[in-house]
């Protein structure tokens, strides 16, 4: 796992947040669709695991998440399991927007849920036509400081 994260982060670009926003590539922006309200495009930030955030379009979330249940009063759901599932998803799925000039807003809640308490000024972006992944400073530091798995096993053999 850490070897994979290390490889991914070696391809990611470090970017400084400016007023809680980061710039994304125009090729990446295209997958989120055209702005729906003037110059803003609604997106969702999913906390994959602490320090790893994936950005989804409104359409992608609508296809995979029951938004009616997501927005419902959790206390009104029938089973405890359903209530816990909705509450857990609400903690991991955070709404955001891309504003004019290819700027993605990253709400402070994202850092809180991602357990990022050391450095909230930089993130690492892994951008492609299919995914936009964001890594916090602590996640990047941990991934880069642990040697890749195959090298660790090789050192043990010697």
- Higher per-residue confidence, 23 vs 77: 23
The model's pTM: 0.77
pLDDT digit string, tens, across residues 91-147 = 788 999 998 768 999 999 899 888 887 788 999 998 877 889 999 988 888 777 755
Q: Of the candidates 158, 154, 157, 126, which has an alpha carbon nearest to the alpha carbon of residue 139?
A: 126
The more confident residue out of 158 and 78 is 78
> How far from 16 is each of 12, 71, 76, 124, CA to CA, in Å?
13, 33, 42, 9
**pLDDT (0 to 100) of residue 36:** 67
Domain ranges, ordered by start, for the chain: 2-157
Rounded Cα gap, residues 152 and 158, in angstroms:
10
pLDDT digits 0-9 by tens, 37-91 = 677 889 999 998 888 999 999 888 888 877 676 666 766 767 777 767 766 676 7
CATH class of the region 2-157: alpha beta
pLDDT of residue 117: 79
Q: What pLDDT, on a 0 to 100 scale, did the predictor assign at position 95?
A: 92
């Amino acid at each position: 796992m850490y070897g994979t994260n290390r490889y991914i982060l070696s391809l990611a670009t470090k970017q400084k947040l400016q007023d809680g926003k980061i710039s994304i590539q125009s090729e990446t922006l295209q997958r989120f669709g055209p702005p729906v309200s003037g110059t803003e495009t609604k997106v969702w930030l999913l906390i994959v695991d602490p320090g790893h955030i994936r950005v989804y379009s409104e359409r992608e979330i609508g296809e995979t998440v029951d938004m009616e249940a997501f927005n419902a009063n959790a206390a009104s759901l029938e089973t405890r399991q359903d209530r816990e599932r909705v509450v857990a998803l609400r903690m991991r799925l955070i709404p955001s927007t891309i504003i004019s000039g290819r700027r993605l807003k990253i709400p402070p809640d994202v850092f809180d849920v991602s357990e990022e308490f050391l450095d909230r000024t930089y993130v690492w972006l892994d951008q492609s036509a299919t995914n936009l992944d964001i890594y916090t400073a602590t996640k990047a530091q941990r991934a880069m400081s642990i040697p890749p798995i195959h090298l660790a096993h090789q050192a043990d053999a010697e």
